[in-house]
Each structure stands twice: as C-alpha cells, then as structure tokens.
C-alpha cells in the first residue's frame, strides 16, 4: 500500500461536500462504467476483510488537514473555546508537532482556503417544467431551492489516497478521478455541479512526530472492534444516509441502510503500543437491500499524532 496526495482544482459549485466515503463509491461506479462489473468485483475482493484496494480521504483546502477532534480545555474561557472552534484547519507543515503546538498553529476557513474567501453555502433556485404547458406550476412543477457550496474560482483541494498498487496503479486512479471531475461529483452533477480538474497525483509521506501515540483520521471511518481505547480516543459521530448511484439510483429503492461512523479528524489511541498504519477502520457490508454486494468505505487514511511533548 502506498500513500498518494491528489490536488484538485474546482471548476464549479458542489452539491455534495467532498467526502471520502461518497467519493469512493463514485470511483467504484467509474470503474464499472469503464471496465465492467467484473473489474470492480476483482478490486473489491477482500474489501470487508481488511484488504481495501483504495481508501480515499475527505477533501481539504490545499496544504491543510482537519483539526483533531478533542474536548475543549476545562480551564479555557468560553470566548476562547468559541474562537478555537473556528480554527478547524492544521497546516501540513505543523502536522508532526506535539499536540499543543499543532493546535496552536490551527487557522480558520478564510486563511486555509486563501484569498480570505471561505466557502459560501447558499441556495440555488431550480425549476421543473410541465412539458404540456411549457411552464412551471404547482406540486411537482413548483419552483424549489437546493443548497450548493460555492468556492473561490479554481479553489485547490487535497485528497489523500491509500492505494494497493498490485490491484490499481496511480495512473489509473488519476484517470478515474479525472473522469469524475469531467462528469461531476455528487448531487446535481448532470446540471453542472461537482466539476474539477486533477492538477497532480503524487507520492506523499506521512508526518513523523517524535513520539506518535494516536491515529489521526482523514475520512469517516468505522473504528469499532479495531483495538482502540474508547476512554482515551475522541471522535464526532456521523450518520450516513446513503443512496445508490448508477442504474440503482433509478430503482424503486435507491436508499441504503443508515451507517454510523466516526467523522474525519478522529483521534484513535490503540490499547497497546502504537504502530504506524496508513489506514484504519473496516469495509462495511450489508448496507443495501437492493444490491447485497454493496459495500461502504468504513476505512480512513490515518496519520500519526503526537499527544505529548517529548521529555
């Protein structure tokens, strides 16, 4: 397994936030479109047994990582806790520092996304025309609003990917990402949302803190039963209400079963000695009644995190 970092340049607003598990599902559909269902079955062999062919992170502002999920300091003042909550990005250059120094380097959206422009969440109006009258109307033909995420022009986004080169090389992964970028990622791709270019896909090296003690996750994951100390680990609970893509999106039951995950930025401390890992979590099956072979990415790329200052 190797660690890669892709840099994307956004070309349109997003209908769906760049989430690792959602993007992984769309990559699998891109494989089916390009090479057929047999190829994605080959790639997914062993997926629920701790052998993923690909693990994809959430999308982060270029050069930054998500702030580790940790409880606020009891001695800090309410206004200090509120300000710290807004500084949710860690510069990549600070990722190997001890925890206190790493958190002190955290910045807000305006700084991380550059040019003082944080992503804007706004609603866009949509119309459905009645083909008999050529106009909108009431009921299913009434105008409606849908949320979109607007970034600055050509905003740079980082994706961290763990790849099994024996099953898929980096060139193929770049091609799959480029295909998704051209056709659109997530909701409303058919009307122009979710477009991006792949500017680069390069080998990456995980930060090397002096005394690593925890895994710092970069995507939603399912850490249960993986040997982590629940009393010393911290995470934010995330519920995924997924739905199928491709042909199953048009079926009578396009919805998947809800999945409970630990959101990106989780701090997972092993019960025993720390050993670096490129990813943590597990592949999830049984998430769909419509297609029993469906899996969900419960893995996340992981970086080592130093919790204390070296003596």
Residue in the structure block whose two tokens are 């269902």: 37
pLDDT tens digits for range 172-204 = 999 999 999 999 998 888 888 899 999 999 999
Ranking 19-33, 65-79, 170-184, 269-283 by mean pLDDT, the lowest is 65-79
pLDDT at 93 over 70: yes
182's enclosing H/E stretch is: helix 170-183
Residue 257's pLDDT band, with cuts at 50, 70 and 90, is confident
Cα–Cα distance for residue pair 269/272, rounded to 1 Å: 9
Cα–Cα distance for residue pair 204/277, rounded to 1 Å: 14
- pLDDT average, residue stretch 63-75: 82
pLDDT at 45 over 60: yes
| 285 phi and psi angles, rounded to 5 deg | -115, 175
Instruction: Say if residues 157 and 38 touch (Cβ distance below 8 Å).
Output: no
User: Helix, strand, or coil here: 33?
Assistant: helix
The domain spans of the chain are 2-121+145-305
pLDDT at 311 over 60: no
| 210 phi and psi angles, rounded to 5 deg | -65, -45
SS (H, E, C) 75-137: CCCHHHHHHHHHCCEEEHHHCCCCHHHHHHCCECHHHHHCCCCCCEEEEEEECCCECCCCECC
pTM for the predicted model, two decimal places: 0.88
């Amino acid at each position: 397994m190797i660690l890669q970092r892709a840099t994307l340049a956004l070309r349109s607003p997003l209908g769906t936030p760049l989430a690792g598990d959602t993007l992984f599902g769309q990559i699998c559909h891109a494989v089916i479109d390009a090479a057929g269902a047999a190829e994605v079955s080959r790639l997914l062999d062993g997926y629920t047994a701790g052998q993923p062919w690909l693990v994809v992170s959430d999308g982060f502002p270029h050069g930054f990582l998500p702030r580790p999920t940790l409880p606020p300091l009891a001695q800090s003042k309410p206004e200090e806790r509120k300000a710290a909550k807004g500084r949710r990005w860690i510069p990549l250059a600070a990722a190997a520092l001890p925890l206190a120094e790493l958190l002190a380097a955290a910045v807000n959206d305006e700084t991380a996304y550059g040019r003082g422009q944080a992503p804007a969440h706004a609603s866009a109006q949509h119309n459905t025309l009645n083909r008999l009258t050529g106009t909108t109307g009431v009921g299913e033909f009434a105008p409606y609003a849908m949320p979109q995420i607007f970034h600055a022009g050509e905003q740079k986004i980082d994706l961290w990917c763990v790849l099994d080169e024996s099953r898929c090389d980096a060139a193929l992964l770049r091609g799959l990402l480029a295909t998704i970028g051209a056709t659109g990622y997530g909701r409303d791709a058919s009307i122009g949302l979710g477009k991006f270019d792949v500017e680069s896909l390069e080998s990456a090296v995980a930060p090397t803190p002096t005394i690593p003690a925890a895994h710092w996750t970069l995507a939603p994951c399912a850490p249960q039963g993986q040997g982590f100390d629940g009393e010393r680990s911290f995470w934010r609970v995330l519920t995924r209400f997924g739905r199928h893509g491709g042909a199953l999106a048009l079926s009578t039951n396009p919805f998947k079963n809800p999945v409970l995950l630990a959101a990106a930025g989780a701090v997972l401390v092993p019960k025993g000695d720390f050993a670096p890992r490129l990813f943590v979590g597990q592949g999830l099956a049984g998430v769909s009644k419509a297609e029993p072979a469906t899996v969900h990415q419960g893995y996340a790329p992981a970086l080592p995190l130093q919790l204390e200052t070296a003596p």
